[in-house]
């Protein structure tokens, strides 16, 4: 039996309403065979049809609006507040000092007296201020702001021609808080090559080892730290005085 010619009066798909081309046996849009399927108006009224989907669509739109509202509040949050986000990537009085004018480069320390233009700083001063900013943000739990400034801070330390042991320690600590154990280890190794008993190099090496779950190596550096601790502190090295709190924490961890 010869099948009916579908091109005759093909018209529109009964299921979705799409215009059908001559000779079509199926709808090119929804795949419904010619002459089958409920009309669109009837389909919308069926359980699970458009009418059933509509409430979920409204709920989805409302959810998007809520997300947008929260994001907007986050962006507009007061600088230096407990809320991290775009607003706190800018200079803040809470972190950069009471003298920091709006929109000015950071001062690099809480309670500072002003915010010198970062372009006017030496490479070493610039790297040090970025280190201070990263560490303060990390201490306050502002992970978005740490991520925002980390590339600049790392690049500033890479540009130092002859970094000191202290600057290498800063470099390694920035790498630590941004989860880059390879860089932290490299800086610790370089410090210890020149100064095998340097406390900052030893504690940084232990931290880098723990980042990769190499606890045996970390404990080895802990023991070296404890062994030379008294003699090194007796040198009254300025770097040790500046980072004494970190050294004390490392000692406490090593003694556990």
At 232 the pLDDT is 97
Q: What domains are there in the chain, each with its CATH number?
A: 122-255 (1.25.40.10)
Residue for token pair 């320390």:
109
pLDDT reported for residue 117: 61
Residues 54-65, buried b or exposed e (16+ Cβ, 10 A)? eeeeeeeeeeee
Whether the CB-CB separation of 171 and 157 falls below 8 Å is answered with: yes
Cα dihedral angle (45, 46, 50, 51), rounded to 10 degrees? 60
Q: Judge whether 80 and 95 are in contact, CB under 8 Å.
A: yes
Contact 113, 149 (CB under 8 A): no
250 vs 255: CA distance, rounded Å: 9
According to the model, what pLDDT value does residue 28 have? Answer: 63
Determine the pLDDT at residue 10: 53
pLDDT at 57: 52
Contact 14, 36 (CB under 8 A): yes
Distances (CA, A) of 21 to 10, 30, 175: 7, 14, 63
Output the pLDDT for position 185. 96
pLDDT of residue 118: 61
Please tell me the predicted confidence (pLDDT) of residue 1. Answer: 46
How many residues are there in the chain? Answer: 256
What does the pLDDT read at residue 53? 44
Q: What pLDDT is recorded for position 224?
A: 97
Q: What is the mean pLDDT of each run of 10 residues along the chain (256 residues)?
A: 45 70 70 60 45 49 49 46 48 46 39 54 90 91 90 91 95 94 96 97 97 96 97 96 95 92
């Amino acid at each position: 039996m010869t099948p009916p010619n579908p091109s005759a009066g093909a018209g529109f798909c009964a299921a979705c309403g799409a215009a059908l081309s001559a000779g079509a046996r199926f709808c090119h849009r929804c795949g419904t065979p010619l002459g089958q399927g409920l009309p669109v108006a009837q389909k919308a009224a069926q359980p699970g049809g458009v009418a059933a989907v509509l409430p979920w669509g409204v709920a989805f739109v409302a959810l998007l609006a809520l997300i947008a509202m929260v994001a907007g509040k986050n962006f507009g949050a007061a600088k230096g507040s407990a809320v991290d986000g775009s607003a706190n990537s800018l200079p803040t009085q809470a972190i950069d000092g009471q003298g920091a004018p709006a929109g000015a480069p950071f001062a690099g320390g809480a309670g500072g007296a002003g915010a010198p233009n970062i372009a006017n700083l030496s490479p070493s001063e610039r790297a040090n201020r970025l280190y201070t900013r990263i560490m303060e943000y990390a201490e306050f739990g502002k992970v978005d702001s740490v991520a925002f400034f980390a590339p600049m801070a790392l690049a500033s330390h890479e540009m130092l021609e002859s970094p000191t042991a202290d600057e290498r320690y800063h470099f390694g600590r920035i790498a630590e808080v941004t989860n880059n154990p390879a860089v932290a280890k490299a800086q610790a190794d370089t410090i210890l090559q020149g100064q095998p008993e340097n406390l900052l190099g030893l504690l940084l090496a232990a931290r880098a080892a723990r980042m990769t779950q190499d606890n045996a190596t970390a404990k080895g550096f802990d023991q070296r730290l404890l062994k030379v601790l008294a003699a090194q502190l007796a040198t009254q090295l300025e770097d040790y005085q500046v980072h004494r709190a970190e050294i004390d924490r490392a000692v406490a961890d090593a003694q556990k």
